[in-house]
Structure 1
Amino acid sequence: MNKSKQTKSGKVVSAQMMATVVVSVDSFVSHPLYHKKIRKTRRFLAHNPADKAKLGDWVTIEETRPISKLKRWVVVDIKSPVSMVDVNADIAAIDQTINEVI
């Protein structure tokens, strides 16, 4: 049997573990009665072999053999890495908001 592996794309929401990232994947489903699109979010633990994926990156993950109790996915591609300029701008905006409140 030549079964193809599933791939999903999502955002890295946690990168605090060694060689592991938590990827949040959004999907939209239709409500059975009202037919409104509802966002469903699932979080997958994915193996990050070279520690290249960082917090905020958009990545593609692929099914693999069980690596640990909860890890069954591996990061195969980093679509758009987050730049440090964006992070520093966000931190500056948060600091400014805090100073205005105080």
Structure 2
Amino acid sequence: MNTHKREIQGVVVKRSGDKTVSVLVTRSVLHPKYHKTVKKFKKYLVHDERNEVNVGDTISALECRPLSKTKSYRLNTILARGVE
């Protein structure tokens, strides 16, 4: 059985309903043809049980069982507080 859980780090861009936040994860990849570093973005929905995260915070989230149709990550730690 695979016990390794994926971990993502990103910035909270939206509080989407009760106990849910939308997190923008940025990663840098090398373009295959032009050999230039390009930023790639993806948004994930993260479960925040205590509603303690605000927009602008940098968080870490762990993969878990599906909590809804699109939500499969739980809040792990808050790495940095945002400007708000």
- Show structure 2 runs of 5+ residues with no match: none
Equivalences for 1:1-102 in 2 at 5 Å?
Answer: 1-82=1-82, 86-87=83-84
Instruction: Provide the C-alpha distance between the structure 2 equivalents of 1:16 and 1:67, rounded to a whole number of angstroms.
Output: 14
Q: TM-score, normalised by structure 2?
A: 0.94
> Which digits, 9 at most, give the CA deviation of each residue in 1:36-82, with x for residues without a partner?
01100000001010101111100001100000010001111000112
Structure 1, 1-10 or 38-47: larger mean CA deviation? 1-10
- Show structure 1 runs of 5+ residues with no match: 88-102
Instruction: Provide the C-alpha distance between the structure 2 equivalents of 1:72 and 1:16, rounded to a whole number of angstroms.
Output: 14
Instruction: Provide the C-alpha distance between the structure 2 equivalents of 1:70 and 1:36, rounded to a whole number of angstroms.
Output: 32
Instruction: Provide the C-alpha distance between the structure 2 equivalents of 1:22 and 1:48, rounded to a whole number of angstroms.
Output: 10
Instruction: Provide the C-alpha distance between the structure 2 equivalents of 1:33 and 1:71, rounded to a whole number of angstroms.
Output: 34
Greater than 6 Å deviation, 4+ residue runs: none
Determine which structure has the larger strand proportion and give its number: 2
Instruction: Provide the C-alpha distance between the structure 2 equivalents of 1:16 and 1:5, rounded to a whole number of angstroms.
Output: 24
3-state DSSP of counterpart to 1:72: strand
- What letter matches 2:12 in structure 1? V
Q: CA RMSD in A?
A: 1.1
Q: TM-score, normalised by structure 1?
A: 0.78
Q: Identity rate of aligned residues, in percent?
A: 33
- What letter matches 1:43 in structure 2? K
Kindly state the Cα deviation for residue 2 of structure 1 after the two structures are TM-superposed.
4.1
